[in-house]
Amino acid sequence: MKTYITKDINETREFAREFAQTLNAPICVALHGDLGVGKSEIARTIIQTLCGENTVVPSPTFTLVQTYNAGDKKISHFDLYRITDAAELVEIGLEHSIQNDITLIEWPDIAADMLPENTIHIDICEYGAGRKIILR
């Protein structure tokens, strides 16, 4: 377990840029935290770091998943907030993504039984004007 404290959004993005450089498929990253704490911003920064800073990264809140190509890497960004039945996870391709891609998952609790043992869990909470980020 490792803890990072960021003072502001710029430092939070810098954390995400550095973290992105460590990711190789297949890997699963589960982003935990309250609404508005920065899960999407961290996922967006990871994707833009790997795909190019001008990559448009909309929230997958309504589409449930967005996919990106970063050279030979495929990135799948899931938002499971609206999923109410774990059976839907196979239908939206989560299982395939976990086995093959860099998989970023916001609101991962409903998928807990599907997550591989080596999943990187990132807990994010407010900490002053910045964030406390715990990798486990």
**pLDDT tens column, 76-129:** 999 999 999 999 999 999 999 999 999 999 999 999 999 999 999 999 999 999
Decide if pLDDT at 72 tops 90: no
HEC readout, 91-131: HCCHHHHHHHCEEEEECHHHHCCCCCCCCEEEEEEEECCEE
Reported confidence tier of residue 65, pLDDT bands at 50, 70, 90: very high
pTM, entire model = 0.96
**pLDDT tens column, 18-63:** 999 999 999 999 999 999 999 999 999 999 999 999 999 999 988 9
- Could you tell me if 30 and 108 are in contact, meaning their C-beta atoms sit under 8 angstroms apart? yes
Cis bond leading into 26, ω under 30°?
Answer: yes
